[in-house]
Amino acid sequence: MKNFKKNKIGILGGTFDPAHKGHIKISMKAKKKFHLDKVIWAITKKNPFKEKSYMSLKKRIIFAKKLSKKDNFIKIQFFENKLKSNRILDLISYLRKKNQNTDYYFIMGADNLINLHKWHGWKKIISKCQVLVFDRSRYKAKSLKSIAYKKFNKKGIEFINLKKVNISSSQLRKI
């Protein structure tokens, strides 16, 4: 019997309002450190924890594709119309069902780990894939004390220190 190599895919979800070099950097670091075959940027219409998006969905997708065009391992995708959901749990379940020979890695910033326990099905997310948390300025201490990190005692959640990229989508919108 042949020994098949499992595919490894990272998922970086968000509004990408706008996408920036920090998204590229964590995608590259995740690819290299975890030997990922590709990283999907799963763009959402609206973050349920934010008031609104500043750029239209179409503009955000176009900009993300333009920004990542030289990094051919990054794939920009919008799943919400197909899934009828913007929940990451639904996306991971869909992808796992579609690609059973694949291990998934959910990529997030430390700021998102702080409130992960408020996400729909957050415990199932951690049980269905490895969660890779990238350090962000001013969030490390608080994220390491988060409910999700404490509950799983680092099991299923890996915290990755990263040379800081001093940029965020909210900072870019102010320019």
DSSP string covering the chain, please?
Answer: ---PPPEEEEEEEE--TT--HHHHHHHHHHHHHHT-SEEEEEE-S--TTSS--SS-HHHHHHHHHHHHTT-TTEEEE--HHHHT---HHHHHHHHHHH-TTEEEEEEEEHHHHTTGGGSTTHHHHHHHSEEEEE--TTTHHHHHTSHHHHHHTTTTEEEE--------HHHHHH-
User: Would the pLDDT of 169 be above 60?
Assistant: no
User: Is the full-model pTM beyond 0.85?
Assistant: yes
Stretch 49-78: mean pLDDT: 93
User: Would the pLDDT of 3 be above 70?
Assistant: no
Tell me: the pLDDT tens digits for 128-167?
A: 999 999 998 789 889 999 999 999 877 899 999 887 655 5
Tell me: the pLDDT tens digits for 88-109?
A: 999 999 999 999 999 999 999 9
Q: What is the pLDDT of residue 53?
A: 82
Cα–Cα separations (whole angstroms), residue 170 to 17, 21, 57, 73: 8, 13, 16, 26
